[in-house]
Every structure is written in structure tokens, then in C-alpha cells.
Structure 1
Amino acid sequence: MKEIKPKKCAVCGNEFVPFLSTQKVCGTSCAISLGKSNIQKQNAKAWRKEKKIRKEKLKTQSDWLQDLQKVFNEFIRVRDKGKPCVSCGCMVNGNGHASHMFSVGSSPSLRFNEDNVWRSCVECNLHKHGNTAEYSIRLREKIGEERFNSLVVNRNKPLKLSVEEIKQLIVEYRKKIKSLKYA
């Protein structure tokens, strides 16, 4: 008959000779402790999942728009990585900013328009408030007069996205980011 080798208890660390090959603990008190810790881990995992679902149900349309804005801005930074600032032409250090030619406040319909948003340096976007004079000149060169005029025409239209449309855009832009990062 085969001799059974001693094991270390998963709870207390003492050596013991198991009755079964699958036995992990030395006795009933350690088995109870192990069972409680496993249940606590499962309960914690279930609670985190439930909490995430509850938080998503409480989100307003404004919260979803903020989430979409973060993902969209990340997409712009990834798309334009290694390219110069759209306003001044200098090489952008770090992540840079996703700069809107027509601001979100004045032109909400262009908030998520890829022709309206390009990567710029912090100096132009924050300190020079977008450096719009240079931005408009360089943007016309970059996208062409026709697409620029389309932006101007469409800038005063309202932006009406449902929560489902916003969620769908978040998924689409995450896919685009992933494809650009791993291409």
C-alpha cells in the first residue's frame, strides 16, 4: 500500500497526515475557518459586482456624458500620439490635451466630432484658451476647407443623445482605442 505523505494545513500551517488526497486542512476547526474565509471572499466579490451595478443604475445622463468625454479624449490623445500640437505646431510632451476648436459649451453638437477635436499642448489649450486663431488656420489645412465649413454650419445644432446611445459610443471609442494601441 502507498504511504500518504504529510501536508501543511492551509489555515494554521501545521503538518498533518490527510485521510483523503484532496484534504487541505488538519481538522474541523481549520475546516470551519477555511469555509468562512471562502464564503467571505465570495460575498465580497458578489458585493463588489452588485455595487457596480447599483452605481451604474444611479448614473444620470450627465454622468454618462462625462464618462464618454473621458473615453473620447483618450481616443483623441491615442489617435494623435506623436503628432505636433494642432495650434502651435510644437511637439506635445506627455499626453497633451484633447482640444476642441469649437468649445463644448458653445457648440455641444461638435463635442464628440473627431474633426473638431485634436491633440494640443497644455500651453495652447489652457494658457492661451485653445489658441483658436492658429488652431483654425492649421485645422483648415489639416481637414480641408469643406470639412471645416461643415463644422461651422453644424456647430449650433443641439446634441441629443440617449443613455443607450452614449453607452454605445463609449463601447465604440474603447474599441477604437484598443485597435490603435495594439495595431
Structure 2
Amino acid sequence: MKEIKPKKCAVCGEEFVPFRTTQRVCGTTCAISFGKSNIQKQNAKAWQKEKKVRKEKLKTHKDFLKDLEKLVNEFIRIRDKDQPCISCGATAGNYTMSAGHYFPVGSYGNVRFDEDNIHGQCWFNCNKNKHGNLAEYTLMLPGRIGNERFEQLQVRAKQTTLKMSIPEIKEKIEYYRKKIKEMKSDEVWG
């Protein structure tokens, strides 16, 4: 039979010669505290899962819309990472990018998540200081998406407001999570 080598106890750190190769602790007291720590870890994991479910149940329609907006904006930043700023043309990589909306979210909620309405824009100069720099955005947008899509966007923006149910929002959240994951994996392997 093969000789069993000494091990360090998983609890107290003392060196001991185990009876079996799978033994992880030196004695009964360490075994009891090791068992308690495993139970505590399992309880902590179970609590984290339960807490996540409880938080999900407490979310309002507005909370789900905020979650969706964060994901859509992240998608836009990834999609347009190599593009210059839609308004001022600042070179990609030389500015902090934000997801700039052509039609503002507050006034035109029905195109809030429309990918033709949102483009990479330099955060400090155009989005923050120039409030979207819409004069330049108007000139550059048809070149980026084409005149036909630009005209369709203008029509969609003036239609009734977008009403999405929570299940529809959740569906879109999953859609954008999947798209972001695919784009990030393409970056790694591409």
C-alpha cells in the first residue's frame, strides 16, 4: 500500500498524518468547525439566491426600464467603440464615450431604446457640455444610418409613446445581455 503523506489541517493549519487520503482535518474539534463553516457557506449561498429573488420581486416598472437602458447604452458603447463621436467627430479612443440620444429620452420615450436613435458620443464635450450637440448630430446622423432610416426614425419619434409591459422589458433585457455577451466574446476571439 502507498504511504500517506502528512497534510496541513484545513482549519487549524497544523500538520498531521491522515487516516485516509480524503481526510482534510486533524481531529474531531477541527472537523466540527470545518463542518460548521461549510454549513455557513451553504447558508450564505442560499441567502444570496433568495435575496436576488426578493429584490427581483420588489422591482418596479421604472426599475426594469432603468436596467434595460443601462444594457442598451452598454451595447451602443461596444457597437460604436471604433467609431468617431457622432457629433464632433472626435477620434475613437481619445474620449470617454457615452450613448448619446438624438431624440431625448424625456421627450421622446418611444425611441428611447431605438438603436438608430442612440450613437457613441463623447461624454464631456458633446453630451454633457453641449447637451447632445444636436446641430452637429443632425448633420452626421443621416451619413451614419442612411437617409431612409433617418426619416423613419423621425416618424417613429413623433408617434405615440412606447408602452412596454414588465415581461416585454425582461425579454429585451435578456436580448441585450445575449448581444453584449456575443460582442464581447467576438472581441476576445476576433
TM-based fold match above 0.5 = yes
Q: CA deviation at 1:158?
A: 1.1
Q: Give 5+ residue unaligned stretches, structure 1.
A: none
Q: Secondary structure at the match of 1:182?
A: helix
The equivalent of 2:35 in structure 1 is 35
- One-letter amino acid matched to 1:176: K
State how many pairs are aligned.
183
Measure the CA separation in 1 of the matches of 2:2 and 2:185. Answer: 53
Residue range with higher mean Cα deviation, 169-178 or 118-127:
169-178
The equivalent of 1:61 in structure 2 is 61
Measure the CA separation in 2 of the matches of 1:148 and 1:4. Answer: 74
**Structure 1 position 180 matched with structure 2 position 183:** yes
Aligned residues: CA RMSD: 1.6
Q: CA deviation at 1:64?
A: 0.6
The equivalent of 1:151 in structure 2 is 153
Q: Secondary structure at the match of 2:106?
A: coil
Q: CA deviation at 1:147?
A: 1.4
- One-letter amino acid matched to 2:53: I
Give CA-to-partner distance per residue, 1:14-60, whole Å, 9 cap, x none.
Answer: 23333333222222111111111111111111111111111111111
TM-score, length-scaled by structure 1: 0.92
The equivalent of 1:72 in structure 2 is 72
Q: CA deviation at 1:3?
A: 4.7
Measure the CA separation in 2 of the matches of 1:23 and 1:121. Answer: 59
TM-score, length-scaled by structure 2: 0.89
- One-letter amino acid matched to 2:29: S
Instruction: Please list, as runs of the form range in 1=range in 2, the aligned pairs for 1:105-116 lying within 5 A after superposition.
Output: 105-116=106-117
Pair 1:134–1:29, CA change in 2 (3 A): same
Q: CA deviation at 1:133?
A: 1.2
Q: Give 5+ residue unaligned stretches, structure 2.
A: none
Contact 1:77 1:95 in 2 (8 A): no
Q: CA deviation at 1:94?
A: 4.3
